Amino acid sequence: MRAGIGYCGEATGAVAGRQVAQQALADGAISRPDLVLAFCAAAMDEEQFLKGIKGVVGESTPVAGGTAMGLISNHHLDYTDCAAAAAVLQWDSPSPVHLASADGLDRDGRETGRQIIRSLGGSLEEQLLFLFYDSVRVPPSPTSRWILNSSAPLLEGIEDAVACPIPAVGAGLVGDFQFTAPRMFCGDKAATQHAVAVAVPRTPGPYIKIMHGCTPLDGSYHTITKIDGACLYEIDGLPVVDAINELYGNDEWQQQRPVVSLVTIGRHFGEKYGEIREQDYINRLITGVLPDGSGIGVFEPDLVEGDEIQFMLRDTDRMVQSARENSAALMAQVVAEGHTPALGFYIDCAGRTAQESRTAVEEAAEVQAVFNQHGVPLLGIYSGVEIAPFNQRNYGLDWTGVLTILTEEEAHAAV
């Protein structure tokens, strides 16, 4: 497999589409494009952007992706209104990729997931799924907050329909930091309320690393005793708002929007009271106190009564350190196991940008440095939700960077 990256930060529409596609073909010395992963800012004319790409790679080459909150490449970190980037991929065997999309996320996400797998058809053993979906069910208005599509029903639908587990990496896309609705690139069209999936050969691997840098605030576990979807009301039989007031020492956190800083809710999948390991946790962002003050909102409605949680500290210094150490470790693993890295794909929570986390450096720059040191193409996006395999299942994640490395095919390598 080979890959090339294209980036444009000035032109818009069809011109940007042509530019990123031409750059990517040249960068990867690609003569027969099998797949394009493409993303652009929501302010751009996405139909024209897609048309520009298709004019270069050909109408038969599938394009997956959509509008995103920002773009990452080897030499660019851009969340402006003109950001656009693409990766063009070519496998040694012709067209080993299969793309499917389905609508109805705002009606029945689980059925959307099932429909995607039915449309992909065939055996998905030894495949990796790139999965992107429209995160915004209802965009914000002057009088109401946004409503999101959850990743959980979509992933459950996929799990329902596959004969064997298939690892998925991807993102819930959001148009911009104002939660504008995104547009999804679904092969040959741009659409809303869709999910799009591409099944590709795993090659040796896949190599996937989840990184967030969050650590438990203390050693305490709390049991959820009242929750309704994405609205959490009680832990340990007491109001959760009171518990968080106590953590902060005041109630000023209740004014924070769209997410509460410093603290997240963590689910621990490792040994209880055992060694604290970053890879044993997934996090749920707190989206603020409910209007009536009775509880808090969480970003994904997959917590249930009886679940044990911990309050986690969002430390920006640790976040940057985590990105540096984990990306270097993953690259070192690929090399140590005798494989050749062909492409890095980094899906990064938009809250981790320097702009949103108020850091002096960009956390994703640590990932860039590793890939540039090794001369490996890198594409990344800033997302609303990150998707990765974890604990034998695929999960939607918050405040997380998901790094995937695809490797060159090796006939002798065991998958």
Predicted TM-score (pTM) of this structure: 0.95
**Angle (deg, nearest 10), helices 46-57 and 13-28:** 40
> In this predicted model, what pLDDT tens digit does every residue of 306-359 receive, in sequence order?
999 999 999 999 999 999 999 999 999 999 999 999 999 999 999 999 999 999
DSSP string, 248-268: HTSSGGGG--SS-SSEEEEEE
Give the span between the Cα atoms of 224 and 226, in whole angstroms.
6
Give how far the C-alpha of residue 85 lies from the chain's centroid of Cα atoms, to the nearest Å: 16
> In this predicted model, what pLDDT tens digit does every residue of 192-238 receive, in sequence order?
999 999 999 988 888 999 999 999 999 899 999 999 998 999 999 99
pLDDT at residue 8 is higher than 50: yes
> In this predicted model, what pLDDT tens digit does every residue of 165-194 receive, in sequence order?
899 999 999 999 999 999 999 999 999 999
pLDDT at residue 395 is higher than 90: yes
Q: Which two tokens stand for residue 15?
A: 């011109």
Tell me the pLDDT band of 264, cut-offs 50, 70 and 90: very high
Give how far the C-alpha of residue 13 lies from the chain's centroid of Cα atoms, to the nearest Å: 24
What distances in angstroms separate CA 44 from CA 68, 84, 336, one per listed residue? 11, 9, 42
Q: Going by C-beta distance under 8 Å and a sequence separation of 6 or more, which residues neighbour residue 259? A: 285, 286, 287, 288, 299, 351
Mean pLDDT of the chain: 94
| Residue 364 and residue 346 in contact, taking contact as beta carbons nearer than 8 Å | yes
* HSE-up (13 A, CA, CB side) for residue 312: 28
* Side chain identity at residue 120, one-letter code: L
Give the span between the Cα atoms of 226 and 241, in whole angstroms.
12
pLDDT at residue 94 is higher than 80: no
Exposed (0-12), middle (13-18) or buried (19+): which is 375, by Cβ within 10 Å?
exposed
| Residue 86 and residue 6 in contact, taking contact as beta carbons nearer than 8 Å | yes
Least reliable range by pLDDT among 49-53, 57-61, 94-98: 94-98
